[in-house]
Structure 1
């Protein structure tokens, strides 16, 4: 066999093994999802629906695997060149809108789709438009490519936008800024957004717009879905609230253009901002500042994390009351899980604090961020500091409650052992005396003295032993009260 043939065969074997591992991993994920849905609805899922769901998940994970391999080829050139590279496997129906506004006028086009975006971008921007905001729900190659070509986005920023998960950061390029964030949303197990009572903008809803882009639970963000840790979490946690995370990419382009790309859907972020833009006289309209619009988006993302800290605060307060009344080992398990979740939240929300602080103190030649925006970033930084401080405080409280529970249980155990020791001290002399009088001796005159004689010796001996061994503990006990 030639060297070329051997290499081809080895590559085919490696490809088959990779596909098998991907399918095996996705089978575990799909099983976890099916079990979760079955537990939630209480109804069994048919075999056909089960196979369809599994097939969709396998297709999705294969797409992500192929895309990841393209990004991480050793020695490959950094970044994504939209003119020479092709990622058609990253395909999803996106919901897109474009808003143009100035002090006196505001228009929005809410009916943009993947196939219509390219022709829309070729149209001339209105002369009166001071700020243009393009929002994309879902990540698709054709949409990202059209935006990158139109606005000359840097290849490194395109790579960061397409590759998920991505660290929280802010990169500066010649004609634009790129910001990578994580959106945290508090939802109930039935999928309802409970972070706040949001008013949806016309033409937008909070449902999924991209079947190939799915939100992740907070724990799934740091652990493989279907792992034993996640299964234990689902069994032990009693709260019917989940923290969902998704990647957000923000491009602020010189000339007054802002592009926001939500991995799943950002209705909870952009709906309040759209409502503000509709009203004349608001700060966003009168300032005509694209950096202030970016500040509003980041502020909304940070504000959505506030209900999360409130939820954990209520859970910890509830557990604290139960522990003070009756400590149980079950509470330590729940507190341990809460501590882990708070640590993950701290890991994902903490970098936002540093990012906002850097933007607040940012100085560059291009003046991407205006002085007014920096002023309002101070308020965003205050919110970040509050959230991070609350997370640190709640983590400390949870750890202290765990220690207090163990100490309380140990104290109760010691009290029980003291009671057992007390009973032992009481009955040991009685056992000794009873054994003494119960000996089988022929000549035993004391047996003729009757039962009162036995109890007289038993009581005297028991009292002496009790005082001898319990004098100091009784003194310490009396000093407690």
Structure 2
């Protein structure tokens, strides 16, 4: 059964087919090329099938909590009809029963390999991406839940409609095709989601057919991952790191991240044909539960719908056990990070770094997902949409809204740069007045933060440049040139020409931010070097003074030791008074003093000579 949001070839066939797809008796008919329909659509159309033909209305929100439903994609509906839904009350043939048993054994083997000893190595090379159509995905991502703030904005040049809702309302809206359909007057729809929750993202993915690799970046991303732009057939995916000054309330921005290897994809959860049998018409007795022999070993994967609701399976226990091991490892890492943050607390610029995910569809739909559970970050864009004279309203182009989000992220980063500028000026003043170890420590912390922010902000510049320069080329790469029907298809990028003009301003701001960070990092390093050089110079001055005192006093010390000898007879003492000592000591002192400071006297003479010469030149030039 091909999955439409898995990798597909030019004819729409899944490149990662399930077991029954490999059986010749159940091969589905080839479908028209997806690339020619989606990748090169010449204009943004409100009636594009991207937002309305990708979800099966009968598919439940949660296969585990909504009973047992066959996980079928829309493209494989005819396939499923041939196999199980052609006649619900028809008994399966012996051949079908045999194939069902084979699939059970293979699924058990997959589950055993998935959770075997050394599972981390066993999952290397697994199918990438997060497919919400797989029921086992709920077992791995169902714990990611957060009360999200969701805002849906439909707008055109003459009208705007905004509605806010919570998780439950949004999920019900996504399941209803008619209610979720965009109004005819709307040129663009912006779905703004604050917070990352599995139930919301799953409903959104089933509704708009988000690519599995994009979902993997949403759930497996790290707060310090590089910003990037990925081009897919149905949509453009952007992941940008947002930098803003921290407020009083600290959001748990990393709570939604699934700490597991990116290659650990959930195994497919298949339902047996025997479990799809229904009671005959008129028979009100419930279907009997399957009798499981006690001699058989307990299965790793749930083999019946009653296993999901009645008792935990061995797979769920193993998943929970391995999750606890991973949690312990990440807890140790978090403790170390918290310790470092506590040591760095003080004169520091507190910056919140959190990812934002943006999906741009060709039908005019824009989806933005931010890790925080509020919509305060994007409030300026919402305010601009309410005003009819803004660029967003006068030009209801979805790519202009993407530019507005990027510009907002860059403007927040500019505030961070200004805060660092103030800190650098303060530390520079303290260093020039009197270098202290405390100030040097703060400069060291500030320098490390600047390097970190440069690493996270520089990819945004590359992303903006790629949207301006390589948008058409990357869209052209999505076209299957081996298909003759795509020979004359016009290539149109996701970003309009007007948005690229405005992106040039964002690129200039990013250039200013990065050059400022480089300058601040250089100033911090120079101040640290200046502090150590100043301390070293002061130490050299002290040592020089001590050396001069020692040199000057050494002859006097020798004379004092000589005249302090108890010789008998002692001519210098017996025949002279104490004046004889000073007659010898004073000339020796002056000779030693001049000899030790002769180079300083010469340097002072040359300095005064240059000073007088420079003063004369200035008087002659400006006379």
For the criterion TM > 0.5, the same-fold answer is yes
Displacement of 1:471: 1.0
Structure 1 distance, partners of 2:368, 2:124, is: 30
Aligned to 2:154: 100
Query: Does 1:452 pair with 2:579?
Result: yes
Q: Give the alignment of 1:192-211 within 5 angstroms.
A: 208=251
Indicate the residue corresponding to 1:430 in structure 2: 556
Distance 2:238 2:355 in 1: 11
Partner of 2:456: 348
CA distance in 1: counterparts of 2:197 and 2:568, whole angstroms = 104
Distance 1:318 1:459 in 2: 52
Asked if residue 254 in structure 1 is aligned to residue 362 in structure 2, the reply is: yes
Mapped to 1, the partners of 2:185 and 2:251 lie a distance apart of 34
Pairing partner for 1:154 from 191, 206, 211: 211
Q: From 319, 322, 331, give the equivalent of 2:427.
A: 319
Offset of residue 118 of structure 1? 2.3
Shift of 1:107: 0.9
CA contact (8 A) 2:151 2:193 kept: yes
Alpha-carbon separation, structure 1, partners of 2:340 and 2:334: 12
Q: CA deviation at 1:224?
A: 4.4
Which string of whole-angstrom CA distances, capped at 9 and with x for unpartnered residues, describes residues 314-359 of structure 1? 1111111222222233332222211110000000000000000111
Cα distance in 2 between the residues matched to 1:308 and 1:454: 73
Question: What CA deviation, in whole Å up to 9, does each residue of 1:1-40 have, x standing for no partner?
Answer: xxxxxxx9xx79989xxxxxxxxxxxxxxxxxxxxxxxxx
Q: Deviations over 1:161-200 (max 9, x none)?
A: 1112143110111111000111111125x44xxxxxxxxx
Distance 1:477 1:285 in 2: 73
Pairs within 5 Å for 1:177-216: 177-188=236-247, 190-191=248-249, 208=251, 212-213=255-256
Describe the SS at the equivalent of 2:350: strand
| Partner secondary structure for residue 305 of structure 1 | helix
Trace 1:5-84 onto structure 2 (pairs within 5 A): 73-84=123-134
* SS at 2:238 equivalent: strand
Q: Secondary structure at the match of 1:129?
A: coil
Shift of residue 226, structure 1, vs aligned partner: 3.6
Q: How many residues align?
A: 392
Distance 2:525 2:426 in 1: 15
Contact conserved, 1:291 with 1:373, CA < 8 A, in 2? yes
Q: Does 1:303 find its partner at 2:353?
A: no
How far has the Cα of 1:233 moved from its partner? 5.6
Residues 479 and 312 of structure 1: CA distance in aligned 2, closer, same or farther (over 3 Å): farther
Once the two structures are TM-superposed, the CA of residue 208 in structure 1 deviates from its matched residue by 4.9
The equivalent position to 1:143 in structure 2, one of 177, 200, 214, is: 200
Q: What is the distance in 1 between the residues matched to 2:373 and 2:242?
A: 10
If you compute each CA radius of gyration, which structure gives the higher value, 1 or 2?
2
| Cα deviation code 1:176-231 (max 9, x no counterpart) | 1000111111125x44xxxxxxxxxxxxxxx85989449xxxxxxxx94443x764
Q: Corresponding residue for 1:270?
A: 378
Q: Quote the residue 2:17 is aligned against.
A: none
CA shift, 1:147, in A, is 0.8
CA distance in 1, matches of 2:374, 2:445: 28
Q: Tell me the secondary structure at the aligned position of residue 147 of structure 2.
A: coil
Q: Give yes or no for contact 1:93–1:209 (8 Å, CA) kept in 2.
A: no
Tell me how large the CA RMSD over aligned residues is.
2.5
Instruction: Classify 1:413/1:351 alpha carbon distance in 2 versus 1 (closer, same or farther; 3 Å).
Output: same
Secondary structure, in 3 states, of the residue corresponding to 1:310?
helix
Q: What is residue 527 of structure 2 aligned with on the other side?
A: 401
Gaps of 5+ in 2: 1-111, 258-331, 476-490, 609-623
1:270-292 C-alpha deviation (Å, 9 max, x unpaired): 10111111111211011110010
Distance in 2 (alpha carbons) for counterparts of 1:307 and 1:164: 25
Distance 1:320 1:283, change over 3 A: same
TM-score, structure 1 normalization:
0.76
Instruction: Please state how far the C-alpha of 1:413 moved relative to its aligned partner.
Output: 1.1
- Does 2:590 align with 1:463? yes
Distance 2:586 2:335 in 1: 66
Measured after TM superposition, the shift of residue 420 of structure 1 is 0.9
Q: Is the 8 A contact 2:552 2:596 kept in 1?
A: no
Aligned residue in 1 for 2:98 = none
Indicate conservation of the 8 Å contact 1:252/1:259, yes or no.
Answer: yes
Q: Distance in 2 between matches of 1:180 and 1:130?
A: 24
Question: Could you tell me how far 1:452 is from its partner in structure 2?
Answer: 1.6
Aligned equivalents of 2:335, 2:524: Cα separation in 1: 26
SS of 1:269's equivalent?
coil
More helix by percentage: 1
User: Using the alignment, how far apart are the partners of 1:309 and 1:282 within structure 2?
Assistant: 27
Q: Which moved more, 1:469-478 or 1:133-142?
A: 469-478
CA distance in 1, matches of 2:346, 2:156: 49
3-state SS of the aligned residue for 1:245?
strand
TM-score scaled by length of structure 2: 0.59
Tell me how far 1:370 sits from its aligned partner: 0.6
- Corresponding residue for residue 272 of structure 2: none
Q: CA deviation at 1:429?
A: 1.7
Equivalent residue, structure 1, for 2:440 = 332
SS in 1 for 2:597: helix
Q: Structure 1, unaligned stretches of length 5 or more? A: 1-7, 16-68, 192-206, 215-222
Question: Relative contact order (C-alpha < 8 Å, sep 6+): which is higher?
Answer: 2
